[in-house]
Chains A and B, each alone.
Chain A
Amino acid sequence: MGQAKWVSSRHSRKKNRVIPGFGLSMGITISMLSLIVLIPLLSIFVVLSGVGPADFWKAISDPQAIAAYRVSLICALAAALVNALFGTILAWILVRYRFPGRRILDGLIELPFALPTAVAGIALTTLYSDNGWIGKLLAGIGIKVAYTPIGITIALIFIGIPFVVRAIQPVLEKLDGQYEEAATMLGASGWQTFRRVVFPEIRPALLTGFGLAFARGLGEYGSVIFIAGNIPYETQIVPLIIMSKLEQFNYGAATSIALIMIVFSFLTLFAINFIQSRLNHAAKGAE
């Protein structure tokens, strides 16, 4: 009898879920999501509904806009790649080594999040312009950073680095040292151990960090605008094109280009999820 009762109570408990409040928390979640994310995004379509297809096409296929897509995509991609590499190294150092100032370094990683982007932009411009501390040295060897695509990329590296580091760090921390020890004992070199044992573990996190840094880079305005020369066809980023349309009270064209940006970001995140699921699949198949 007792056992039957236990089974039935377990059964009903499962039905009702272990943690209570699913309906309430789900309601709050979706309401907040609607207010903060979905409705603002929907308003894009509300504005766009007043834009004819011809105007929409004209706005998004404008040669200046196309040049800006290129600048934004290339710079964001370059910055995300640099971040993927250095973010991994940085996370590795923070997790695997103990050295004086490690905690401070760890805290500094988040600075790009905390700093107002305009402050970051002005500071970077001051440093990297021809007469800035770093810019002066680089100008000596013929590299102009501020007011060129390189400057844009540097600003994007700055704002993107925390995404990669903070994505990889927890994975590295949890990684059991036994696997590396085993690999070493089986005769793997340091590089082989990293490539075959450690890297597959951090790869999903790396992809996530890369994707976030890239998507953030596409949309970044505040820090870039100071360090980019904003010359049409050369150093104009897409968010600037949107701002200039707004400045001309052309809400329709601004929104059309905004939609293209959303599509870019969405495709990127989608592609990363796709790659990840393929890799997971391959990993499972290998087991």
Chain B
Amino acid sequence: MMGFTWAQMNAWRKKTVLGLTLLVAAAPLAACGSNAANNGNTAEAQGASGETSAPAAVEITNVSYDPTRELYDAYNKLFQAHWKEKSGQDVGIIQSHGGSGKQARSVLEGNEADVVTLALEQDVAELEKGGLIEPGWVGEFDKQSSPYTSTIVFLVRKGNPKGIKDWDDIVKNGVEIITPNPKTSGGARWNFLAAWAYAQAHDGADEAKSTEFIKSLYNNVTVLDTGARGATTTFVENNQGDVLLAWENEAFLSIKEHPDDYEIVTPSISILAQPSVAVVDEIAKKRGTEKVSTEYLQYLYSDEAQKLAGENYYRPSNPDILAQFSDTFNLDLKLVTIDDDFGGWEAATEKFFADGAIFDQIYRK
């Protein structure tokens, strides 16, 4: 006789039921628990050295956004030398890049970042809301924790066939604009706000008129990509559109890669894009990396690091160093700021990007 007896079958069945009960009971725990395995998009260890617990070496993770890849590549080497000299310790830096909002979410959901260097103050503020960063982080470092800035410029095809000079040229009929969706791309919110600032300055701060202006601008948008890198690909590789609203540093990188195909047009007004940096207090405390993490961000303000930022097409926040790059950047450009002209990110989000707010309204038929 082969097979199981009924008693055996019943025992199995009981075990099965028990197992299932445990599983279902564990479900809420699993849902709430941190998923540390969900670790960033493109993490790469740099100069990983020894065990993290060894006092001679320490390791930190910097979760950043897409276009800072080249900058931090260079900066990490600079900082490793600086930290070695200062404390005698080797520091390994794990770098992670992706869309700013997505990166913030990954930290919120358990990606253990000691420091974050993101595109938007708001994304860092989400980490504060999540209890990972202590309130008051904006004042922790100079210049509202923005060691380098950028702005929004136009990237046009060589020779500027559509004669684009300023914002009012791109809303004309027949001009095709490529820009990412401000609802899915944090960076694209700067584009929107820069255009809004121009409209406000030219129609006597009339909101209805500015909304019309923005509406005609987005009517000319033929592809609304989900992220800044996607928009660049659409414009550069797939040859769509006449003008790309781009971060200045991204625009410079495109020019560097294809010097014969594109040129940069600086509008009369743009916005000071201030990427935010912060130590993720809870995680740094837990991992005992507070000191090195703080120094990592503090050192971004040093002359060497500021120069490095300039070389990577970010505007250094130190005015003296910025002046050294006057050949590269158009320093006459009038720049509005999120705090002075829009009342901070929270107010701007509420007014422009929340569900049903101005951005949604301009698409409503």
Residues of A whose CB lies within 8 Å of any CB of B are 9, 12-13, 15-17, 20, 22-24, 26-27, 30-31, 34-35, 39, 42-43, 46, 58, 62-64, 122, 125-126, 129-132, 146-147, 225-226, 229-233, 240, 243-244, 246-250, 253
Contact = CB atoms under 8 A, between A and B. Distances in A.
Interface of B: 1-6, 8-9, 12-13, 15-16, 19-20, 23-24, 27-28, 30-31, 99, 101-102, 105, 126, 181, 183-186, 221-226, 230, 233, 237-240, 353-356, 360, 363-365
A30 B16 contact: yes
A247 B118 CA distance: 14
B12 A24 contact: yes
Given A24-B12, A233-B365, A247-B184, 9 more contacts: A13-B1, A23-B16, A39-B27, A225-B226, A229-B222, A240-B226, A243-B226, A247-B102, A249-B101
B31 A43 contact: yes
16 contacts: A13-B2, A16-B4, A20-B2, A22-B9, A23-B12, A27-B19, A31-B20, A34-B23, A35-B23, A43-B31, A64-B360, A129-B239, A129-B240, A225-B226, A233-B363, A247-B186
A240 B223 CA distance: 14
Given A35-B23, A46-B28, A131-B239, A23 B13 contact: yes
Contacts of A27: 12, 15-16, 19
A232 B363 contact: yes
B224 A229 contact: yes
A63 B53 CA distance: 54
Nearest to A40: B31
A230 B181 contact: yes
A37 B183 CA distance: 30
Contacts of B225: 230
B355 A253 contact: yes
B32 to A, nearest CB: 9
Given A23-B9, A31-B23, A230-B224, A147 B183 contact: no
A93 to B, nearest CB: 33
Nearest to B2: A20
B16 A247 contact: no
Contacts, number: 119
Nearest to B5: A16
Nearest to A39: B27
Contacts of B224: 229-232
B133 to A, nearest CB: 15
A122 B27 CA distance: 37
A224 to B, nearest CB: 11
Contact of A20 (B3, B15, B226): B3
A30 B24 CA distance: 11
The 5 closest A-B pairs by CB, nearest first: A23-B12, A27-B16, A16-B3, A232-B363, A244-B183
A230 B223 contact: yes
Contacts of A30: 16, 20
Contacts of B181: 230, 244
A204 B242 CA distance: 50
B16 A17 contact: no
A243 B223 contact: no
B364 A63 contact: yes
A152 B225 CA distance: 14
Nearest to A146: B238
Given A23-B9, A30-B20, A253-B355, A230 B4 contact: no
A211 to B, nearest CB: 29
A131 to B, nearest CB: 5
A230 B227 CA distance: 11
B30 A39 contact: yes
Nearest to A42: B27
Nearest to B130: A249
Contacts of B102: 247
A222 B230 CA distance: 12
B238 A129 contact: yes
Nearest to B11: A23
Nearest to A226: B230
Contacts of B226: 225, 230, 240, 243-244
Contacts of A247: 99, 101-102, 183-186
B353 A248 contact: yes
A42 B185 CA distance: 29
Nearest to A65: B355
B17 to A, nearest CB: 9
A229 B220 CA distance: 12
A30 B28 CA distance: 18
Q: Give the most central of B105, B226, B238, B363: most A CB within 10 Å.
A: B238
A181 B239 CA distance: 56
A231 B101 CA distance: 20
B31 A46 contact: yes
Contacts of B233: 122
Nearest to B27: A39
A229 B183 contact: no
B4 A20 contact: yes
A11 B2 CA distance: 13
* Best-surrounded residue of B1, B186, B223, B239 (most CB of chain A within 10 A): B223
A176 B74 CA distance: 68
Contact of B27 (A15, A43, A125, A250): A43
Contact of B23 (A9, A23, A39, A125): A39
B295 to A, nearest CB: 30
A131 B240 CA distance: 9
A216 B27 CA distance: 26
Contacts of B101: 246-249
Contacts of B6: 15-16
Contacts of A35: 23
Contacts of B364: 63
A129 B224 CA distance: 15
